[in-house]
């Protein structure tokens, strides 16, 4: 494996950026597929290892907790190792850990595999978004939503493959093996063309990252809260949409599986076109729009008289929530241009905070009060994003339309590699 210069030395600076953007997009895609293959087969994992209902929440909570630890560790690691290298080696660990989840037959084995998966996912998520932020800075226009669109597409593909494995009654190992065998070598090959802060921003930008000082948490806190609110909303959909449609709105078991698929498709659609919206109207307007649409979706779900109206609510949720997370990472990079890697790593922790809080919160409120009422809580939290929307302001670097900057960097053939 090269350091990133092989295969790019003869290209122009723009060509290198395009290769970097394409290969990073593939990394997002692979991660979306791997994560979907894990979470959509949780019942099968529980059956294979004989994990009790009482013990299952412990295993499920351990993954995001360890992922948070992996993100914290990545903040320290990238002070000495480029984010591209962290991504290059954490992604294979995630894929191999996924295969390990399907290969074992004891609680110890699945615990080790899930621990490796969680730690590597934290490093992977943090480093992917670090590279995305630095590439967006080099492009001088919004491209972060496109990366997360690739993640959504991977999630749809992974969930579809998981459905096929369940439909044909394949073992977890047999379901996971061909996916890992395809994705692992492709990710390793693609990693040759990753472009991180040194190549995307030049040596001066790299020195700024190294010498830029610390992240002021008080300034980052509004974005951390927004990230948590968004993932509380997302985890509500992923964990409760099927149960809500079936138990509250009286749908069939088959129909109850549809809302999450609709939600994922709408996240893909919204993210695929979202960068155009940011370039035209600015990040603040797009985040505000997404927050209002998502809150409206929760409101529709809460008052829906039947399954099809509830489906409309989950459709709105996908379209609204999808823009918030990518723009939150981008805003952190703009807020701390000299310490964007550290800002992204810390912000990424609140991804897992929201994931941990969301599902138990809605479940507890649903049991103690009602599931319709429980849907109002993530609605209010998402609406609170409007209060923090000014934190997404571009601060003179507005992207798009007549405001778009030319590419800030010319990475020539002699520029440093990844």
Q: Is the pLDDT of residue 326 over 60?
A: yes
**Which pLDDT value is given to residue 43?**
84
Separation between Cα atoms, residue 71 and residue 52, nearest integer Å: 29
- Measured in degrees and rounded to the nearest 5, phi and psi for residue 383 equal -65, -30
- Measured in degrees and rounded to the nearest 5, phi and psi for residue 194 equal -60, 145
Which is higher by pLDDT, 246 or 70? 70
**To the nearest whole percent, how much of the chain has pLDDT over 70?**
87
**Which pLDDT value is given to residue 198?**
54
pLDDT confidence bin for 213, thresholds 50/70/90: low
Mean pLDDT of 25-37: 95
Q: What's the distance, Cα to Cα, between the start and end of the chain in Å? A: 12
pLDDT confidence bin for 200, thresholds 50/70/90: low
Give me 30's structure tokens. Answer: 């692979």
Other Cβ atoms within 10 Å of 211 Cβ, number:
9
Within 8 A by CB and 6+ apart from 3, the residues are 417, 418
**Which pLDDT value is given to residue 115?**
96
pLDDT confidence bin for 29, thresholds 50/70/90: very high
pLDDT confidence bin for 126, thresholds 50/70/90: very high
Separation between Cα atoms, residue 50 and residue 48, nearest integer Å: 6
Which CATH number among 3.90.580.10, 1.20.1250.20, 3.50.50.60, 3.30.200.20 corresponds to the domain 1-211? Answer: 1.20.1250.20
Most confidently modeled range among 136-140, 222-226, 245-249, 397-401: 222-226
**Which pLDDT value is given to residue 395?**
65
Fold of 216-397: Growth Hormone; Chain: A; (1.20.1250)
Express each pLDDT in 169-197 by its tens digit.
Answer: 999 999 999 999 999 999 999 999 999 86
53-67, 92-106, 142-156, 311-325: least confidently modelled range: 53-67
Q: Is the pLDDT of residue 403 over 70?
A: no
Parse the chain into domains and list their residue ranges. Answer: 1-211, 216-397
Q: Is the pLDDT of residue 205 over 80?
A: no
Separation between Cα atoms, residue 87 and residue 176, nearest integer Å: 21
Q: Taking Cα atoms as reference points, which of 293, 350, 348, 333 lies closest to residue 317? A: 293
Residue 6 to residues 2, 30, 38, Cα–Cα distance (Å): 6, 23, 34
Q: Is the pLDDT of residue 297 over 90?
A: yes
Within 8 A by CB and 6+ apart from 396, the residues are none
Q: Give the ranges where 244-370 is alpha helix by DSSP (H).
A: 258-281, 283-303, 307-321, 324-335, 340-368
148 close to 264: Cβ distance less than 8 angstroms: no
**Which pLDDT value is given to residue 415?**
35
pLDDT confidence bin for 56, thresholds 50/70/90: confident
DSSP 78-118: TTTS-HHHHHHHHHHHHHHHHHHHHH--SHHHHHHHHHHHH
**Which pLDDT value is given to residue 57?**
84
Give me 13's structure tokens. Answer: 């600076």
Q: Is the pLDDT of residue 88 over 80?
A: yes
Separation between Cα atoms, residue 371 and residue 247, nearest integer Å: 9
**Which pLDDT value is given to residue 107?**
94
361 close to 232: Cβ distance less than 8 angstroms: yes
| Mean pLDDT across the chain | 87
Which is higher by pLDDT, 7 or 62? 62
Residue 328 to residues 44, 95, 145, 206, 397, Cα–Cα distance (Å): 34, 27, 10, 22, 16
**Which pLDDT value is given to residue 130?**
96
Within 8 A by CB and 6+ apart from 148, the residues are 28, 271, 322, 325, 326
Q: Is the pLDDT of residue 369 over 50?
A: yes
Q: Is the pLDDT of residue 277 over 70?
A: yes
**Which pLDDT value is given to residue 394?**
78
Count CA atoms closer than 13 A to 86's CA, side-chain side.
Answer: 30
34 close to 157: Cβ distance less than 8 angstroms: no
**Which pLDDT value is given to residue 413?**
31
291-300, 370-379, 385-394, 408-417: least confidently modelled range: 408-417
Tell the burial category of 71 from Cβ atoms under 10 Å away from its Cβ (0-12, 13-18, 19+). buried
**216-397 and 1-211 share a CATH fold:** yes
């Amino acid at each position: 494996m090269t350091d990133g210069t092989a295969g790019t030395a003869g290209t122009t600076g723009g060509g290198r950026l395009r290769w970097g953007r394409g290969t990073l997009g593939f990394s997002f895609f692979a991660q979306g597929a791997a994560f979907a293959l894990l979470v959509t087969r949780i019942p099968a994992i529980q059956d294979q290892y004989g994990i009790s209902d009482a013990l299952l929440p412990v295993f499920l909570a351990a993954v995001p907790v360890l992922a948070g630890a992996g993100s914290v560790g990545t903040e320290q690691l990238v002070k000495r190792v480029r984010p591209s290298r962290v991504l290059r080696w954490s992604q294979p660990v995630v894929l191999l850990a996924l295969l390990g989840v399907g290969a074992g037959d004891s609680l110890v084995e699945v615990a080790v595999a899930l621990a490796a998966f969680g730690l590597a996912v934290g490093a992977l998520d943090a480093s992917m978004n670090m590279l995305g932020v630095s590439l967006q800075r080099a492009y001088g226009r919004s491209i972060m939503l496109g990366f997360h669109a690739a993640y959504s597409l991977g999630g749809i593909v992974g969930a579809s493959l998981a459905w096929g494995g369940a439909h044909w009654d394949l073992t977890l190992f047999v379901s996971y093996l061909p996916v890992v065998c395809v994705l692992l070598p492709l990710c390793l090959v693609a990693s040759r063309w990753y472009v991180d802060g040194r190549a995307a921003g030049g040596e001066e930008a790299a020195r700024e990252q190294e010498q830029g000082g610390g992240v002021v948490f008080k300034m980052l806190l509004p974005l951390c809260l927004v990230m948590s609110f968004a993932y509380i909303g997302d985890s509500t959909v992923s964990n409760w949409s099927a149960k809500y449609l079936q138990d509250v709105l009286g749908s069939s078991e088959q129909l109850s599986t549809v809302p999450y698929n609709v939600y994922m498709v709408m996240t893909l659609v919204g993210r695929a076109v979202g960068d155009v919206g940011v370039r035209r109207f600015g990040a603040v307007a797009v985040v505000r729009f997404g927050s209002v649409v998502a809150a409206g979706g929760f409101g529709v779900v809460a008052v829906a008289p039947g399954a099809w109206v509830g489906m409309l609510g989950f459709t709105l949720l996908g379209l609204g929530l999808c823009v918030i997370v990518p723009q939150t990472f981008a805003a952190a990079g703009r807020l701390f241009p000299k310490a964007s890697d550290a800002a992204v790593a810390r912000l990424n922790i609140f991804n897992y905070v929201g994931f941990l809080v969301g599902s138990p919160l809605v479940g507890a409120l649903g049991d103690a009060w009602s599931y319709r009422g429980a849907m109002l809580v993530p609605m209010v939290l998402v609406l609170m994003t409007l209060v923090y929307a000014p934190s997404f302001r571009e601060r003179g670097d507005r992207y798009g339309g007549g405001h778009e900057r030319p590419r800030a960097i010319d990475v020539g053939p002699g520029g440093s590699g990844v």
